[in-house]
């Protein structure tokens, strides 16, 4: 898939402010940090979850647990491509029973990844509730899934590609949109 | 009075001549392309074709009586003719075994009736190939089939006493014992050559020493009792060494090698395709080189096909369950060309010795393997060494299809075969 | 990942690490409250066992079921096979039943190769042990176990010293292990009487010793292989007692193992012959874990062979997405 560099829709500063806002929203909605568990969906969701956990603990003065949730084996499109490599699933020792789980991902698009994540969670335990935080919601849902916390709503066309870059993975922080060109 | 004029053929690959065949003999050998035609004779333009004496196979399995699903005397000799053969020795491991005058005469008659080549039945050494009691070798020798070669092939005459007695007994009528050298205890359940490949594949090995030990024993026995010995399908470098030694001592031993042992190695077993399962097994590249050298030198006297047809279900299975054996009659001359002539190891004249005259002498057949000169029986093969034959299921005429060369292109093609002046193959096809 | 798993020699270092890493993830399923994943739902896995083996068959069955596949068990005793039906006809029947994968154990070396290459089946063929040839998933679970204990469950096995002791000549476990351990960078020494080592072992990627005592103090892993008592009657060794004295993993040898070394056995064991009860049940023994790891490893293999798109004919290599 070839594409041009694309235009930046969120720069480093915008990203940072969005995450700070989401951290506050999570605390406001849940009346504090008690019982929270952030679960990042690999790859970039994990780094966002870590950042959110850091922000929350700065605000509340409390360390909250962070984990990763690999959803590969619950995907509904497994048969369309060769078998994918798995990424680790890391949970706190006491699991997620009774916790308020906040799933964290970079982009919400068709909603299938989140559906797979809900299935995966269901097989691990029974949380008190599951909420969803995403950096970008680009629309075009194919399932009835919605995010509780959104960094930015970004209406896009299906011809466009949304790319989230994070320093931990890509070297810089920004979100860009570009056209799909057939290479 | 029909006859044939073979114009401009290369005699044993050498000078060009015209051969006039008439009344079952070579009437005249003359300057090439001089006579335009002869009354009463059909003309075959033979430019580029090599004339060889009709080939003689010392070792073929025609499967009849008993396994007509795999091959019959008719289908087997048709394949033989297409391979350039005018005489074949039919091994005795039929069902019933050819251990009586009755069975050998039956095989001999069926060969005559089919009419594609002369069939010389080989008699079993022991009753039922059981390795315990001598069969009536004398009765078989005196029968219409006039058996002179005796073999338990398929099995080894492993009991040393029995082998000694057999070697002694055939002296009375000048017979020869043809030994399938395989010490049974060392090869119980063996599947392929014992070596690096068998170790990796987890298939039970057939060690070279199991062949060599028997050959060593038998050449010494032959010397001791003053008899004649022939070794079937020699397959190892070690066996070649023993034969060289024996001959240097003047021991009356002859030996044959199969075309497949001149070309194929045990590496082919790696895919577990039982088309390559054969007894004795395919060996290593070193063995192949030693066998070629030995055939070139004459330490190995003859090429013999060990043509072993098997029905599809006996090869379309896992290795362990498959039968041992490969087809060989149709492809023999091509494989010998590829491995011995095209490599410069043999001339065509020498090929004629190893595939016609020497085997005829060992089998004591009077009318085959004769020189191509006036007055001799017209058993002749015309061969085109420049052709290329793609071996496929459609051009195999045997009843079975177990050729290891399927899908391969081999050099050369038999264009015509004459049995006592009558064609069995013309234009590269069987006449019926 | 390829279309079939017939031999440890088919796996590159990359393939092997992928399987082992995937197996690590799969092993978490064993600890989860719901021990099931929906990944192979709708796929059919056939266990085609021509040889008795409850242990391996159950392991494959558990692995397939944990991935929600449908499992059909076919064992040779009392079936049409014992009445003379050929391997080919059995395969054609399974194909007609829509088998996506056939896990085959057979007494003939190379039977899985024939099944995979003769054109009778479209699905994947998994070798669960063929004659004296190979048992690739056993080698994988052995490597997985070694890696867990000696390399904290990550990376390869370079620098690890392994002794494999016993009837190497007739052991498919030994063959697969020699190949896979070499791929993973471990150093293997085979220890056995010369009668139980194949002609041609010199060309294998390992060393050979006839003396267990000279090897035992230097290894990280000692793997004892089952020795069949019947081999005594074919003169492979004179008596059980002599074999045990010279090659058995007894208390004396157990005590000489370096710290941290582990004791393994593919099972079933002849306690007292190739391995003492103390060695089998002691602290160094990981034999029971091997069995549990077998399920995770087989889940990983089934997932990697079947969990994605069906591959084209003729065993095309698939690129696995990172």
Q: Nearest chain A residue to C319 by CA: give it.
A: A82
Q: In angstroms, rounded to a whole number, what is the distance separating the alpha carbons of residues B402 and C111?
A: 19
Catalytic positions of B:
306
Contact criterion met (CB < 8 Å) for B196 and C117: no
Same domain? B10 vs B118: no
Q: Where are the beta strands (DSSP E) in A11-156?
A: 36-40, 66-68, 100-108, 129-137, 149-153
Q: In angstroms, rounded to a whole number, what is the distance separating the alpha carbons of residues C8 and C177?
A: 8
Q: In angstroms, rounded to a whole number, what is the distance separating the alpha carbons of residues B109 and B113?
A: 6
A-chain CB neighbours of C34 within 8 Å are 122-124
pLDDT in tens, B45-99: 999 999 999 999 999 999 999 999 999 999 999 999 999 999 999 999 999 999 9
Q: Is residue B176 part of a domain?
A: yes
Q: In angstroms, rounded to a whole number, what is the distance separating the alpha carbons of residues A125 and A95?
A: 7
Q: How far apart are the first and last CA of chain A?
A: 6
Contact B42, B2 (CB under 8 A): yes
Q: Is residue B67 part of a domain?
A: yes
Query: Cis bond leading into B357, ω under 30°?
Result: no
Reported confidence tier of residue A82, pLDDT bands at 50, 70, 90: confident
pLDDT in tens, B293-303: 999 999 999 99
pLDDT of residue C86: 84
At residue C303, φ and ψ (nearest 5 deg) are -60, -45
Any C CB within 8 A of B197 CB: yes
At residue A168, φ and ψ (nearest 5 deg) are -60, -30
pLDDT of residue C29: 83
Which CA distances in Å does B238 have to B197, B233, C40, C53?
19, 13, 56, 43
Same domain? B95 vs B41: no
DSSP letter at A76 equals: S
Residues on C contacting A at a C-beta cutoff of 8 Å: 1, 18, 21-22, 25, 28, 32-34, 36-39, 303-311, 318-322
Q: In angstroms, rounded to a whole number, what is the distance separating the alpha carbons of residues C309 and C296?
A: 21
How high is the mean pLDDT of chain C?
91
User: Which ipTM value was assigned to this complex?
Assistant: 0.86
Any C CB within 8 A of A80 CB: yes
Same domain? B79 vs B208: yes
Same domain? B124 vs B35: no
Same domain? B218 vs B351: yes
> Which range is most confident: A154-163, B280-289, C88-97?
B280-289
Reported confidence tier of residue B312, pLDDT bands at 50, 70, 90: very high
pLDDT of residue C200: 92
Q: Is residue B392 part of a domain?
A: no
Interface of C with B in 47-66 (CB under 8 A): none
How high is the mean pLDDT of chain B?
96
Tokens linked to A52: 């959110």
Cα-based angle A151, A157, A162 (whole degrees, multiple of 5): 45
Reported confidence tier of residue B22, pLDDT bands at 50, 70, 90: very high
pLDDT in tens, C108-145: 999 999 999 988 999 999 999 999 999 999 999 999 99
Interface of A with C in 86-145 (CB under 8 A): 86, 88-89, 119, 122-125
Tell which residue, C296, C293, C288, has the closest CA to residue C66: C296
Which of B117-131, B383-397, C63-77, C290-304 is predicted with the least confidence, judged by mean pLDDT? C63-77
pLDDT of residue C318: 43
Q: In angstroms, rounded to a whole number, what is the distance separating the alpha carbons of residues C116 and C209?
A: 36
pLDDT in tens, A27-61: 999 999 999 999 999 999 999 999 999 999 999 99
In the predicted model, is pLDDT for residue C1 greater than 70?
no
pLDDT in tens, C231-273: 778 889 999 999 999 999 999 999 999 999 999 999 899 999 9
In the predicted model, is pLDDT for residue A1 greater than 70?
no
C and B adjacent (3 or more CB pairs under 8 angstroms): yes
Contact criterion met (CB < 8 Å) for C34 and A85: no
Tokens linked to C168: 């190497």
Same domain? B37 vs B114: no
Same domain? B108 vs B134: yes
In the predicted model, is pLDDT for residue B426 greater than 50?
yes
Tokens linked to C124: 């994947």
Same domain? B306 vs B425: no
Residue among B202, B272, B321 whose CB faces C172 most closely: B202
Tell which residue, B11, B44, B52, has the closest CA to residue B30: B11
Q: Set out the domains of chain C in order of their start, with CATH numbers.
A: 8-135+291-321 (3.40.50.1370), 136-286 (3.40.50.1370)
- CATH classification of the domain holding B15: 2.30.40.10
B-chain CB neighbours of C138 within 8 Å are none
Same domain? B10 vs B107: no
Q: In angstroms, rounded to a whole number, what is the distance separating the alpha carbons of residues A67 and B13?
A: 84
Q: In angstroms, rounded to a whole number, what is the distance separating the alpha carbons of residues A135 and A145?
A: 15
Mean predicted confidence (pLDDT) in C147-169: 96
pLDDT of residue A183: 53
Same domain? B304 vs B419: no
B-chain CB neighbours of C132 within 8 Å are 202-203
Q: In angstroms, rounded to a whole number, what is the distance separating the alpha carbons of residues C62 and C154?
A: 25
Q: Is residue B219 part of a domain?
A: yes
Q: Which residues face B51 on adjacent strands?
A: B11, B382
Residue among A74, A79, A83 whose CB faces C38 most closely: A74
Contact criterion met (CB < 8 Å) for A84 and C308: yes
Residue among C22, C28, C308 whose CB faces A79 most closely: C308
Mean predicted confidence (pLDDT) in C148-173: 96
Mean predicted confidence (pLDDT) in B216-220: 98
Q: In angstroms, rounded to a whole number, what is the distance separating the alpha carbons of residues A182 and B318?
A: 49
Q: Is residue B46 part of a domain?
A: yes
C-chain CB neighbours of A74 within 8 Å are 37-39
Q: Which helix (H) or strand (E) holds C87?
A: helix C87-96
pLDDT of residue B37: 77
Predicted model pTM: 0.89
DSSP letter at B271 equals: G
Any C CB within 8 A of B209 CB: no
Share of chain A above pLDDT 70, in %: 96
Residue among C21, C39, C309 whose CB faces A82 most closely: C309
Reported confidence tier of residue C308, pLDDT bands at 50, 70, 90: confident
Same domain? B45 vs B62: no
Q: What residue numbers bound the domain in which B36 lies? A: 4-50+375-387+409-430
- CATH classification of the domain holding B317: 3.20.20.140
Q: Is residue B322 part of a domain?
A: yes
Tokens linked to C136: 């690739």
pLDDT in tens, B101-151: 999 999 999 999 999 999 999 999 999 999 999 999 999 999 999 999 999
Share of chain B above pLDDT 70, in %: 100
Q: Is residue B397 part of a domain?
A: no
Residue among B196, B205, B313 whose CB faces C86 most closely: B313
Same domain? B420 vs B286: no
Q: In angstroms, rounded to a whole number, what is the distance separating the alpha carbons of residues B50 and B127?
A: 43
Total domains in chain B come to: 2
Q: Is residue B403 part of a domain?
A: no
Q: Which residues of C135-147 are buried (b: 16+ CB within 10 A; e: fewer)?
A: bbbbbbbbbbbbb
């Amino acid at each position: 898939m070839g594409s041009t560099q694309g235009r930046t829709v969120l720069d480093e500063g915008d990203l940072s402010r969005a995450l700070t806002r989401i951290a506050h929203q999570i605390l406001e909605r849940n009346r504090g940090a008690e019982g929270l568990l952030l679960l990042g969906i690999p790859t970039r969701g994990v780094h966002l979850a870590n950042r959110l956990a850091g922000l929350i603990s700065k605000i509340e003065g409390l360390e909250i647990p962070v984990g990763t949730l690999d959803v590969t084996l619950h995907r509904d499109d497994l048969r369309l491509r060769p078998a994918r490599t798995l990424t680790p699933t890391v949970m706190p020792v006491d699991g997620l029973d009774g916790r308020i789980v906040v799933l964290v991902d970079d982009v919400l698009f068709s909603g299938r990844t989140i559906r797979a994540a809900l299935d995966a969670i269901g097989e691990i335990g029974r949380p008190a509730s599951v909420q969803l935080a995403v950096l970008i919601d680009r629309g075009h849902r194919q399932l009835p899934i919605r995010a509780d916390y959104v960094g930015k709503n970004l209406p896009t066309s299906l011809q466009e590609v949304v790319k989230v870059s994070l320093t931990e993975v890509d070297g810089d922080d920004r979100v860009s949109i570009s056209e799909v060109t057939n290479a | 009075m029909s006859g044939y004029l073979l114009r401009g053929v290369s005699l044993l690959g050498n000078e060009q001549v015209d051969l006039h065949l008439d009344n079952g003999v070579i009437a005249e050998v003359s300057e090439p392309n001089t006579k335009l035609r002869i009354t009463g004779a059909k003309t075959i333009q033979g430019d580029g074709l090599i004339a060889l004496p009709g080939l003689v196979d010392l070792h073929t399995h025609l499967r009849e009586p008993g396994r007509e699903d795999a091959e019959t005397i008719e289908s087997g000799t048709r394949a033989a003719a297409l391979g350039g053969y005018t005489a074949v020795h039919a091994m005795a491991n039929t069902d019933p075994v050819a251990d009586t005058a009755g069975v050998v005469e039956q095989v001999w008659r069926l060969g005559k009736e089919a009419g594609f080549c002369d069939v010389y039945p080989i008699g079993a050494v022991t009753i039922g190939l059981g390795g315990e009691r001598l069969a009536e070798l004398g009765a078989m020798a005196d029968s219409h089939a006039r058996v002179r070669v005796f073999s338990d092939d398929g099995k080894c005459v492993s009991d040393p006493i029995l082998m000694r007695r057999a070697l002694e007994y055939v002296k009375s009528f000048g017979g020869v014992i043809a030994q399938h050298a395989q010490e049974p205890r060392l090869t119980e359940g063996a599947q392929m050559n014992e070596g690096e490949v068998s170790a990796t594949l987890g298939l039970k090995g057939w060690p070279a020493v199991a062949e060599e030990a028997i050959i060593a024993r038998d050449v010494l026995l032959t010397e001791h009792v003053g008899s004649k010995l022939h070794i079937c399908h020699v397959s190892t470098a070690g066996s070649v060494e023993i034969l060289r030694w024996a001959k240097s001592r003047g021991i009356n031993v002859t030996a044959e090698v199969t075309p497949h042992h001149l070309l194929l190695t045990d590496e082919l077993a790696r895919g577990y395709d039982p088309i390559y399962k054969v007894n004795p097994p395919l060996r290593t590249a070193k063995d192949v080189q030693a066998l070629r050298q030995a055939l070139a030198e004459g330490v190995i006297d003859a090429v013999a096909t060990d043509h072993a047809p098997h029905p599809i279900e006996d090869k379309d299975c896992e290795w362990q369950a498959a039968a041992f054996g490969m087809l060989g009659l149709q492809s023999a001359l091509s494989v010998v060309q590829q491995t011995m002539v095209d490599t410069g190891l043999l001339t065509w004249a020498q090929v004629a010795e190893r595939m016609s005259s020497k085997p005829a002498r060992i089998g004591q057949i009077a009318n085959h393997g004769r020189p191509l000169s006036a007055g001799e029986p017209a058993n002749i093969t015309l061969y085109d060494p420049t052709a290329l034959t793609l071996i496929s299921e459609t051009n195999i005429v045997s009843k079975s299809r177990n050729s290891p060369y399927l899908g391969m292109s081999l050099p050369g093609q038999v264009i015509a075969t004459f049995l006592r002046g009558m064609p069995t193959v013309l234009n590269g096809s069987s006449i019926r | 990942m390829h279309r079939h798993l017939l031999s440890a020699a088919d796996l590159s270092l990359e393939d092997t690490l992928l399987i082992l890493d995937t197996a690590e993830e799969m092993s978490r399923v064993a600890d989860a409250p719901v021990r099931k994943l929906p990944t192979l739902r709708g796929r059919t896995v056939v266990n085609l066992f021509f040889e008795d083996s409850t242990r391996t068959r159950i392991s494959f069955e558990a692995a397939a079921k944990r991935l929600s596949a449908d499992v059909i068990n076919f064992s040779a005793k009392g079936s049409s096979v014992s009445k003379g039906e050929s391997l080919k006809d059995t395969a054609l029947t399974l194909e007609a039943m829509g088998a996506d994968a056939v896990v085959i154990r057979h007494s003939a070396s190379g039977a899985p190769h024939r099944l995979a290459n003769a054109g009778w089946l479209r699905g994947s063929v998994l070798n669960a042990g063929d004659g004296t040839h190979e048992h690739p998933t056993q080698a994988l679970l052995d490597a997985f176990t070694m890696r867990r204990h000696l390399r904290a469950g990550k990376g390869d096995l370079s620098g690890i010293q392994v002794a494999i002791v016993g009837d190497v000549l007739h052991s498919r476990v030994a063959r697969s292990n020699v190949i896979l351990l070499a791929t993973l960078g471990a150093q293997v020494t085979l220890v056995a009487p010369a009668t139980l080592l194949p002609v041609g072992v010199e060309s294998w990627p390992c060393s050979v010793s006839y003396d267990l005592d000279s090897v035992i103090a230097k290894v990280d892993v000692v793997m004892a292989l089952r020795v069949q008592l019947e081999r005594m009657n074919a003169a492979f060794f004179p008596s059980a007692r002599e074999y045990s004295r010279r090659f058995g993993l007894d208390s004396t040898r157990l005590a000489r193992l370096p710290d941290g070394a582990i004791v393994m056995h593919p099972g079933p064991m002849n306690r007292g012959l190739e391995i003492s009860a103390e060695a089998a049940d002691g602290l160094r023994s990981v034999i029971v874990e091997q069995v549990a790891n077998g399920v995770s490893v087989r889940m990983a293999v089934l997932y990697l062979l079947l969990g994605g798109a069906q591959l084209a004919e003729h065993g095309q290599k698939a690129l696995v997405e990172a």
